[in-house]
Amino acid sequence: MNASSQSTIEYLNFIRFQLNRYIPITCLILGSIGHILNILVFTRPLIRKNPCSIYFVSGSIANFISLYVGIITPFLGTYNLDPTETSNILCKIRFYLRYSTITLSTWFILLACIDRLFSTSNNINIRLWSSIYLTKRIIILAIIICLICPYTQVFYCYTISQRASCTYTNQTCKLLNDIILLICNSGLPPILMILINILTIRNVKSSNHIVGGDYCFRRRRRRDVQLIRLLFIQ
């Protein structure tokens, strides 16, 4: 290898190192601002009375944790300060929290979709399922299920390798994690969201054909439509 090629490789490695140092912290700052604004918006007195807003706040908190767990340690690694590269238990906890919070944020959006479906129903008995009382208990149940069921294998599958990096122990573990992520996060939830949102839109269109109705009903419908739009943005 000649001197020119060696110089080019060193230059590219330098660029990669700088990108790994500054892009994550930029994403961390922008992501933090976005999630904080989300929490502030959905905890406003008029909005927080709606069950859907509680799911949005819970999702933002889960994303906030996931953001810091996923970015802080690689950023510290550029300064050789990543604790997950020296502590086996921190290595396991990092991936456990990372996977769990990513999945929880997806589940909360899915639950918000289900809540909008219930809320827009013309059947009053179905609308009763959209309540703050049930929402808080469903959130607690979702957290318990997510922390116990899908990703406990991380404590076996991840460890510090001989190259001093926190990674999976074998290809079987990698495949298992990929399958669980696909089912719990990337595959099944989006499909359910699409189907549920189609039914929700049908409910909204159906309610628009109802003639008359009291003021409170029409006002609630307008608020439902606004939250559905926010849900699509999420």
Q: What is the CATH number of the domain that holds 80?
A: 1.20.1070.10
Inside any domain, residue 104? yes
State the burial class of residue 115 (Cβ atoms within 10 Å of its Cβ: 0-12, 13-18, 19+). Answer: buried
CB 108 within 8 A of CB 38: no
Inside any domain, residue 210? no
DSSP bridge partners of 215: none
Residue 186, classed as helix, strand or coil, is: helix
What are the Cα distances from residue 187, in Å, to 99, 116, 147, 171, 192?
15, 21, 19, 21, 9
Inside any domain, residue 71? yes
Which pTM was predicted?
0.81
Per-residue pLDDT of the chain (234 residues; tens, 9 = 90+): 555 666 676 667 777 777 777 888 888 888 899 889 888 888 888 777 888 889 999 999 999 999 888 888 878 877 788 888 888 898 889 889 999 999 999 999 999 999 988 888 888 888 888 888 999 999 999 999 998 887 888 888 888 876 667 888 888 888 888 888 888 888 889 899 889 988 888 887 776 655 455 545 555 555 555 555 555 555
Inside any domain, residue 209? no
Rg over alpha carbons for the chain, rounded to the nearest Å, is 22
- Give the total number of structural domains in the chain: 1
Structural domain range at position 47:
3-203+215-233
Inside any domain, residue 26? yes
Inside any domain, residue 50? yes
Range list of H helices, 43-153: 51-77, 88-119, 124-127, 132-148
